[in-house]
Structure 1
Amino acid sequence: MHLNISQQMKMSQQMKLAPRMIQSMEILQLNMMALNERIEQELVENVTLERVEKERDTPVAVPDAVDFAPPVDDREARELRKDVENRELVAGNEKNNESDFERLLEISSDWSEDNVGFGGSQRSSNQMSDDMDRQHDVMSNMIARPQSLHEYLLEQFSFFTIDPVMRQFGEYLIQHLDHNGRMQSMLPEIAQQFNRLYEHQLTNEQAEEVLKMIQHLDPPGVGARDHREMLLLQVDDHLPFHDVVTILIRDHLEDIAYNRLPLIQKGTGFSIDLIKVGIEQIQTLNPYPGRGFEQRPVQRVTPDLALEQDDTGRYVVKLLDEYVPELRISPRYTKMLKENPTQETRDWIRRKIESARWLIESIEQRYNTLRKVAQEIIDHQHEFLDKGPEFIQPLKMQQIADRVGVHVTTVSRAVDEKWIQTPRGLFPLKRFFGGGTQSSTGEDVAWDTIRIKLQELIDKEDKKDPLSDDTLVDALAAQGITLARRTITKYRKQMQIPSSRQRREY
């Protein structure tokens, strides 16, 4: 075996994103609320960044929509940085803001030694006491956490007078119910795990007795082993036709799911009308008894954009940025650079100013790019806004990217989690994108339009003789839309529309 050691030279090209481009991509992807949080964070961390206490009347003029696709080299990033450095750092009249600068200087002189670049006295005990009082007020006004399903069941179970080991097992079993109150494992398995963990000798009969106690707790249906038992636990003597309902749930739940009413009639001897009444009673039961205890955070949607109509009737995109503060570089720190500070202080201020400048530029580029992208989308989908959802047109992100002159990933970031207020309601920008097909006349038809037409056909069908998927294919073909049967079946299932057999009414 011979080992050879040699040196080789190899040239290669690599794409490398400048920090400026990375930040621009991150800012572009933020919606208005997230952007506002990012700005507030930067205002806290960067003392050279200031909020301008005035409303933004007109957008700041910036270059055309900036493409945030990876550049081949750093030349583009350097040009952007050069352009930024040549810009005026201060917005507004510096003399009118002199009092603000003096106030900033007073604040900075009081900062503790822990703050970078500034020294000063420690905070007084009164200040710390005030902060603690404010924190106490916040905690006192916090909304109490809603009671969970498990806490609610444990509270009820505590009123039973039973053997200590059985009580402990009951608490253990409640903790092993899922969020709907259903058992996740077989009862003997849970009992064995309990015995091994706590070194008890709980019998299967005792475990069954504890389970029956839990099944009598509120809400009805908790502690069930499966979906069928969960429904049966909710049937009591007060439920109309409870005997019929019990038989239907116990023996014919699957037949009900597939609308096999004649088969149920044959197996039970009940009339079709009585079976339908029983099914109506089953539909009043709760298949997810624990769902009311789920703690789902309320998602608040704030639109980034809105639409206005000009004199010609064209929809014009407007940015809703009144809640996003206008920013500038602090004149105090640009002035400090001219006062010959130490090299360490000079480097620190320059880094902070550069970071603030990049943020301001990234925000302005976001405004411009988002406006251009949204305007192209709305121009393409104006019939949707004028006439309704069935007139939405097929649209791909690449089409918008070509019109705006940016990379498709820029469009993707621009529309991500952005909402627009329209005359037809509030929509995410991604709602306006989608594929489609061509009609027999060569006209583009969006998949959303096909879904709407499919729903209309099913809504108008004879419920005693519903349309099969083959019949739906023929009905759409008569409207100039040719699709395969499997495509119709796929969309019907996506729309959660049952098959023709399941839709049949007896």
Structure 2
Amino acid sequence: PTLQDYLLDQLAWYDLDSQTRELAERIISNLDENGYLQTSLQDLLGPEATEEDLERAEKALKIVQELDPPGVGARDLKECLLLQLDPESPDYEDLKLLISEYLEDIEHNRLPHIARKTHWSLEHIHELLQALRKLNPKPGLQFRSETAMPVTPDVYVEETEDGRFIARVEGGDLPRLQINRGLLQSLERQNLSKEEREYIKNKIERAKWIIDGIEQRKRTLQRVAQAIIDHQEKFLREGPEHIEPLKMQQIADKLGIHVTTVSRAVDDKWIQTPQGLFPLRRFFCGGKVNPEGEEVAWDVVRLKVKELIDREDKANPLSDEEIVRELAKQGIHVKRRTVTKYREEMGIPSSRERRDWFSFEQRKKARQQESGKQGQ
């Protein structure tokens, strides 16, 4: 069922007067896919609504907000989370305060600021955040039904017995085209007029042109794909971190065709490789020259940045400047703004926002205790 179906089924069990029921149904029909009411009650009722109408709409909204899933019918994130709190929970009041006053601080990982304002320990804030993470910020999303369209490879990479990689182009969903035999045979009839004969010949020539064009496109795709995998052999054998810088112009020059022909050939085409399924455009990327004079693909830099962040000490995460220095140790010299750009493109927050303040505080206390013991 859709979210609206599910809510209306529950609403049917409520004993409501006709006006309140009609308003509740109107509210349900205006919920977005996340389960939020983005329309104000005033807009929902129209310009002629009275104070009494608004009060009745508020009552209807409260009823909708009692329905399952918890948090549905909220007008913003704060209200959504508050609706999901259990008043019987021992941390109810603290969670209510945390959501009401400090959501922005939580978003930016400003936990020490929350601790100063509330006089809570970081350990207690950590426990509250664990409870907060169990709440659902988008309660309606579970009812969304999306069908992911399967991707069918246009090109397959096969390894031969002598260790070479060969590109094999599939026909995809295109049917096998051929000229209608009956049309060809009709040319042999003696009673055709000159105009009829010319008309049929013209149609046959156009059909041949279409068939030849499709075959030519397949041949071009095969040649382009083969040139790409010849260049990216290290990627095929060892994985994405070994992708080589490659420009479309290089393939065009190698094959003696125009660069726009290469672009059209790879557009919206997928290739099945030993390393997985990729769009053909994935293999075209720029790069930079390292101190040894070797070109390093920007995709490799991006992967290295993510790898460093994944392995970092979360109590003391790496700053962008420190990531620059770590990359330099691996022979990759980039500017800090490049690291910042790639980090943000991957949706990775800054080092301050990545810091695990609970672990940081525990380590700080351990150092203080150790220092105290040495002082004694």
TM-score range, shorter-chain basis?
0.7 to 0.9
In 1, Cα distance between equivalents of 2:211 and 2:106: 62
1:222 lines up with 2:72 in the alignment: yes
How many Å apart are 1:358 and its aligned residue? Answer: 2.1
1:270 equivalent among 107, 110, 120: 120
Q: Does 1:395 align with 2:249?
A: no
1:238–1:335 Cα change, 3 Å: farther
Name 1:79's counterpart in structure 2. none
Structure 2, gaps ≥5 residues long: 359-376
Q: CA deviation at 1:326?
A: 3.1
Report matched runs for 1:157-196 at 5 Å.
157-193=11-47, 195=48
Relative contact order (C-alpha < 8 Å, sep 6+): which is higher? 1
Asked if structure 1 preserves the Cα contact closer than 8 Å seen for 2:152 and 2:172, the reply is no
TM-score, normalised to structure 1's length?
0.66
Q: 1:304 aligns with which of 154, 179, 186?
A: 154
**Aligned partner of residue 329 in structure 1, secondary structure:** coil
Letter aligned with residue 309 of structure 1: E
**1:148-203 Cα shifts (integer Å, max 9, x gaps):** 2223323332333223222222222222221111121332332335x57xxx8852
TM-score, normalised via structure 2 length: 0.88
Q: Aligned pair 1:439/2:293, yes or no?
A: no
How big is the shift at 1:401?
A: 1.6
Which residue in the other structure is 1:314 paired with?
Answer: 164
Which of 220, 245, 259 is 2:95 aligned to? 245
Q: Deviations over 1:363-415 (max 9, x none)?
A: 21121001000001111111111111111011122221221222222211211
User: What is the CA-CA distance between 1:304 and the residue it aligns to?
Assistant: 1.2
1:350 equivalent to 2:204? Answer no
Structure 1 distance, partners of 2:133, 2:337, is 31
- In structure 2, do the counterparts of structure 1 residues 323 and 236 end up closer, same or farther at CA, with 3 Å as the change threshold? same
Q: CA separation in 2, counterparts of 1:350 and 1:242?
A: 83
Does residue 71 of structure 2 align to residue 235 of structure 1?
no
Q: CA deviation at 1:489?
A: 0.9
Query: Which of 316, 326, 331 lines up with 1:475 in the alignment?
Result: 326
Corresponding residue for 1:203? 53
Deviations 1:301-350 (A, max 9, x none): 11111111224312111123386543322333212112132456435533
2:317–2:355: 8 Å Cα contact kept in structure 1?
yes
Amino acid at match of 1:158: A
1:303 partner letter: P
Alpha-carbon separation, structure 2, partners of 1:466 and 1:285: 27
2:214 is the counterpart of 1:363? yes
Q: Does 1:425 align with 2:255?
A: no
Superposed displacement of residue 447, structure 1 = 1.1
Report the Cα distance in structure 2 between the residues aligned to 1:323 and 1:484, rounded to whole angstroms: 46
Q: Which residue identity does 1:438 align to in structure 2?
A: V
How much has 1:472 moved relative to structure 2? 1.4
Give the CA deviation at 1:444: 0.9
435 and 216 in structure 1: CA distance in 2 versus 1, 3 angstrom threshold: same
Cα deviation 1:244-293 (Å, max 9, x = unaligned): 32222122111111111112122223221221111112112111111122
Distance between the aligned counterparts of 1:377 and 1:185, measured in 2? Answer: 51
Structure 1 position 216, deviation (Å): 1.0
Distance apart, 1:499 and its partner CA: 0.8
Contact 1:191/1:202 (<8 A) preserved: no
1:317 is paired with a residue whose SS is: strand
Q: Does 1:286 align with 2:136?
A: yes
The 8 Å contact of residues 154 and 172 in structure 2, kept in 1 or not, is answered as no
> Could you say what secondary structure the match of 2:334 adopts?
coil
Unaligned runs of 5+ residues in structure 1 are: 1-146
Alignment of 1:149 with 2:9, yes or no, is no
Aligned residue in 2 for 1:339: 189
Q: 1:212 to 1:343 in 2, by over 3 A?
A: farther
State how 1:452-467 maps to structure 2 within 5 Å.
Answer: 452-467=303-318
SS at match of 2:46: helix
* 1:464-487 deviation per Cα after TM superposition (whole angstroms, max 9, x unaligned): 111111111222223222222221
Name whichever structure is richer in helix by fraction: 2
- 8 A Cα contact 1:165 1:202, kept in partner: no
Alignment partners' CA distance in 1, 2:212 and 2:315: 64
Q: Give the direction of change, closer, same or farther, for the CA distance of 1:231–1:334 in structure 2 (3 Å limit).
A: same
Instruction: Specify which of 245, 266, 277 is matched with residue 415 of structure 1.
Output: 266
- Asked if 1 retains the 8 angstrom alpha-carbon contact of 2:155 and 2:271, the reply is yes
Segment of structure 1 superposing worse, 400-409 or 339-348: 339-348
Count of matched residue positions in the alignment of Structure 1 and Structure 2: 356
Taking the aligned partners of 1:222 and 1:360, their CA distance within structure 2 comes to 56
Offset at residue 500 of structure 1 (A) = 0.8
- Matched-pair contact (CA < 8 Å) for 1:240–1:281: no
